[in-house]
Amino acid sequence: MDAKANTHLLEEIGLTEGETKVYLALIKLGETKTGPLAKEAQVSSSKVYKILDRLIKKGLVGSVTKGKVKYFSSMNPNSILEYIEDKQKEIAEKTELVKKLIPDLKMERDKSKGKPQATLYEGMKAIQNFYRNILKDLKAGEEYYVIGAHYPPNRPDVRAFFYSYHSDRINKKIKVNMLANHETKGNLEKTTQMNANIRYLPQYFISNMMIAFYKNKAFLFFYTEDPVGFLLESSEVTKSLKSYFDALWKLATK
């Protein structure tokens, strides 16, 4: 494995950049004083002691005093595995603590559910995450609503995402009620049309905005060059949107 790979791997398991440089320098030099070590690791002499102290606490470095001079050396490389095991135990302990904390956090969050909340989503990934959350929030047999469904030009990633997304929706037996833009008629992905009620808005209703809503969540977003959306958490908002949807449903065509 080359030096870059070694550096990357050590940083992946939790060592800082400075700790990684010093540890690899000790592997190369063997037992050494801080002067040559700082030079080989390319860290300042003022920082090398602090870094060594952290590595000693992590069980990766040892020291010995000869005369009045302190020498440092790396521990057996197997100590890296012990370090990882210790971290895993620590993570497991913290995970259990977080599990105990979650009910309290949910309770506090539920207290604010009656208050409208707005969250800004930026980028296509964020919009895709909202849709995936629909499938997490809804159970088999439940449904959600969409107004203004369409595929933006020059964005094949959108069509590809919704093909996959609706496949997952079908598997989870979640229904969609959709008012699609007029130009999508005969052009919707096959997966979109399954377990779905779909009608098409008149030409004069076409816009760049899409709305998806269910329960107390309403998501309004725009396929601009850098897509942006707003998530509103309010039962009043979704109730109003449902009335709006029902009115448009009567104007739409199959």
pLDDT tens column, 216-230: 999 998 887 788 888
Q: What's the pTM?
A: 0.56
The stretch 236-247 carries a mean pLDDT of 92
| Contact of 229 with 220, CB cutoff 8 Å | yes
What average pLDDT does the structure give for the chain? 87
| Contact of 121 with 231, CB cutoff 8 Å | yes
User: Which of residues 3 and 191 earns the better pLDDT score?
Assistant: 191
The stretch 48-72 carries a mean pLDDT of 89
Task: Report all structural domains of the chain as residue ranges with CATH numbers, in order of start.
Answer: 3-80 (1.10.10.10), 115-251 (3.30.870.10)
Nearest-angstrom CA–CA distance, 249 and 254: 10
| DSSP letter (8 states) at residue 123 | S
| Contact of 162 with 196, CB cutoff 8 Å | no
The stretch 39-45 carries a mean pLDDT of 90
Nearest-angstrom CA–CA distance, 219 and 242: 13
Residue 211: half-sphere exposure toward Cβ, Cα within 13 Å: 17
CA angle centred on 133, ends 150 and 181, rounded to 5°: 10
CA–chain centroid gap for 198, Å, is 31
Alpha helices (H) in the chain, listed in sequence order:
3-12, 17-29, 34-41, 45-57, 79-111, 124-137, 156-171, 235-251
User: Which of residues 152 and 175 earns the better pLDDT score?
Assistant: 175
Nearest-angstrom CA–CA distance, 252 and 232: 26
pLDDT of amino acid 1? 45
